[in-house]
Structure 1
């Protein structure tokens, strides 16, 4: 029934997370409320870190994709877990630096980094820039020389793999705002330019083939394509490429019936492809980097809501309105993302009602899930939506001037606030 091991039902029939009664959490901290289990997060980190040791002889590093969920406390947790950080904006970088995260363990991504962001990252001493395009390469070289720096650079490559249709079309992903294309010669031209530039040190390649992928084969094919490209660039341009970042995109279970492959199986299969291809091209196995985000934090989080009106339209549907919505979880409105939900105080009961969970925004598309099965529900009940630890808080907005929820982290059955609930005063703080 549940999509995470941190969820359970206590003797009162209430949903628990990290051993804490969700009704008590709702009463103590209010709703809407993001709740996350630290043990699940650290356990997921440990699996990835250990897999680098097992399959790559510890020659690699796992970078948490902070766009999934970014705040000061998650940066602290990642540092303690031995993780690196993947940041995609000056704001994410500032968050990491504000808690003293080691800059040499940060990769700076983004398809349109501003000069201000690049200068800030250079001043911070970030470990690697993942360069998206030729314009950025020239800009980074100029700014680095002005600061007497020579940052390590990886190029983001489009490996030509359509992981979502599983057709593995090698040219299918050329139409993307991210990265340099192999098919057009753009990626090779970037290498040719970079090896001659005095302000950057080209050390490797990066790719990311998509998100929420359940198959291993696309990752294996991407690894093969990338290693071969690296070997080609060595042979044609003398590029000394020693690092390979294979990105993220590992699928997680949002609803019952989804069966993601265990992460160590991904790691084992891809490592075998990397080693086999390196051997065939007479190339030393590169330093391997990964960038999981969703698969580390999504299943560790839930969102608690208080039910308001229950509106039954005979022969049509039943709307269950909650005190949040697309402001704190826009993923259903954006792309019909699947979620499972439960009436937290009746978690031991069977779901017997089919409802549409609606938010409070003045927007007809403000829905969290349609035609989903939950227990009998009435006004005042607490509703829990599962697997909201990724891309919920990080994509939240103040649409309709609704304050964003608080976030509570649980460790050893003790909840603590890691992001305060916004107030009405927060909403007007920057108004003039």
Structure 2
């Protein structure tokens, strides 16, 4: 969706000075907006005795942003050993971290168990015997198959590589219990960028019913239910945002009812990434070229190595031209980068104010899965990241990549296997 007015008010008046000082391109993130969304999320579930948000590190793996999450009392959802290292570098340990990997290697398990461990969320029943030492607390990721629909990004659950199937789930807990697990959680992740809050309510209801069935079969109780991530943001203008208040109210009612029937209330967990930071980041670029052939192309000083969602998904990211919002002549253009790929486009046939070389463009909603999904095809370097702090200052929180970074992995000791 278009940036909040608050973010604009904090950023736009100072953007020429920021661009002049740091140079373009850059992603810049809004601390005030991130903290406000965190407040809204906690308020929505305040009536559940224990609510825990585990920020999805993959969405924006920058330590300065992760430090904001930690300051708000959030944990971290990690899916690789590098993400575990990031979370631990901020002091997170044990139950502060949820580790959900797939095709998990022995090395992954070793790192997961180190430095105070984490909550281990197993993705496959075959992994039970591969865990070197079964932790006291264990969780499984559940895949309901055709019992639930997915959405366009994740797809049909029965076609997804993730999770333990419905027919395996009770046996998974039975096997884990036999190996020494004494405490249990249940997790699922069925949708991505979901804007219909009722889908998430239905997911919570599904997991509560499953908890009741497993508990009845095995005589165990559950410490938490994790409904996953997938809370959406409206990238397109005029799309209604997710109703987090209604979602909180209806899920809370489900947990209250569970407590009334069973005498205890599991913690509610979720792992929102995009919802927490997506709307609070923008990619700021400068127009450097104009090409008029069969179409008009506006070339900018970033390419899809800085934001690949439009190329990968055909995703829409709203664009504004600084100083030209809502006034003056318009034209229909493609906004493009410099990669040798024809899908290196931030916008296709988009109506924008008439753009001249040197104009600053603000590509919006890049605060999740933007810089994080970057790459180095064509030897392109990923841009710097900035943080617009609550006190109005702007800090560099990741420098732009340099050619020496690109060539760093070509410096190594000779290693040859002679056959």
Aligned position for 1:100: 91
Aligned to 1:237: 218
Is the counterpart of residue 193 in structure 1 residue 175 in structure 2?
yes
The runs of at least 4 aligned residues of structure 1 exceeding 6 Å deviation read: none
User: What TM-score does the superposition give when structure 1 sets the normalisation length?
Assistant: 0.89
TM-score between the two structures when normalised by the length of structure 2: 0.91
Alignment counterpart, residue 157 of structure 1, candidates 138, 142, 154 = 142
Where do 1:191-230 residues align within 5 Å?
191-198=173-180, 200-230=181-211
Distance 1:350 1:82 in 2: 46
Q: Calculate the aligned-residue CA RMSD, in Å.
A: 2.0
How far 1:278 moved relative to its partner? 5.6
Is 1:372 the counterpart of 2:373? The answer is: no
Determine if the alignment matches structure 1 residue 302 to structure 2 residue 282. yes
Q: Residues 350 and 206 from structure 1, CA distance in 2 versus in 1: closer, same or farther, beyond 3 angstroms?
A: farther
Counterpart check, 1:37 vs 2:41: no
Please point out which of 240, 246, 254 is paired with 1:265: 246
Deviates more, 1:23-32 or 1:327-336: 23-32
Change beyond 3 A, Cα 1:338–1:151: farther
Name the residue aligned to 2:161. Answer: 177
Q: Secondary structure at the match of 2:158?
A: coil
Shift of 1:260: 1.6
**How many Å separate the matches in 2 of 1:289 and 1:415?**
32
Contact 1:76 1:101 survives alignment (8 Å): no
Q: 1: distance between equivalents of 2:161 and 2:260?
A: 33
Change (3 A) 1:299 1:379: same
Kindly report which structure 2 residues correspond to 1:340-419, keeping only aligned pairs within 5 A, or say none.
340-347=318-325, 349=327, 352-411=330-389, 412-419=391-398
**CA drift at 1:405:** 0.5
Give, in angstroms, the shift of residue 151 of structure 1. Answer: 4.5
The equivalent residue for 2:312 is 334
- 2:410 aligned with 1:422: no
Counterparts of 1:328 and 1:264, CA distance in 2: 33
Question: Are the aligned partners of 1:37 and 1:410 in contact in 2 as well (CA < 8 Å)?
Answer: yes
The equivalent residue for 2:133 is 144
**Superposed CA offset, 1:211-232 (max 9, x none):** 1111122112211111111111
Structure 2 gaps of 5+ residues are 412-419
Q: Which runs of 5+ in 1 are unaligned?
A: 10-15
SS at 2:286 equivalent: strand
Say which SS state the counterpart of residue 79 (structure 1) adopts: helix
SS of the residue corresponding to residue 370 of structure 1 reads strand
Name the SS of the counterpart of 1:8 in structure 2. helix
1:90 paired residue number = 81
Q: CA deviation at 1:173?
A: 1.9
What SS does the corresponding residue of 2:190 show, helix, strand or coil? coil
Q: Secondary structure of 1:430's match?
A: helix
- Alpha-carbon shift at residue 330 of structure 1 (Å): 0.8
The offset of 1:71, in angstroms, is 1.6
**CA apart distance, 1:364:** 0.9
Does the Cα contact within 8 Å between 2:296 and 2:332 map onto a contact in 1? yes
Contact 1:107/1:127, CA 8 A, preserved across alignment: yes
Change (3 A) 1:264 1:427: same
**What does the per-residue CA deviation read over 1:291-324, in whole Å, with 9 as the maximum and x for residues that have no partner?**
11101101110001111221123xx432111111
Q: Distance in 2 between matches of 1:351 and 1:192?
A: 67
Distance 2:116 2:137 in 1: 10
Partners of 1:325 and 1:367 within 8 A in 2 = yes
**2:310 partner SS:** helix
Quick one: structure 1 residues 372 and 427, their matched pair in 2 at CA, closer, same or farther if it must change by over 3 Å?
A: same
**Partner of 2:126: helix, strand, or coil?**
helix
Stretch of structure 1 that moved more, 23-32 or 290-299: 23-32
Instruction: Quote how far apart the aligned CAs of 1:351 are.
Output: 6.9
Equivalent of residue 287 in structure 1, options 236, 246, 267: 267
Match status 1:3 vs 2:10 = no
Note the C-alpha offset of 1:283.
Answer: 5.7
Partner secondary structure for residue 52 of structure 2: strand
Which residue number in structure 1 is paired with residue 109 of structure 2? 118
Distance change in 2, residues 1:68/1:175 (3 Å): same
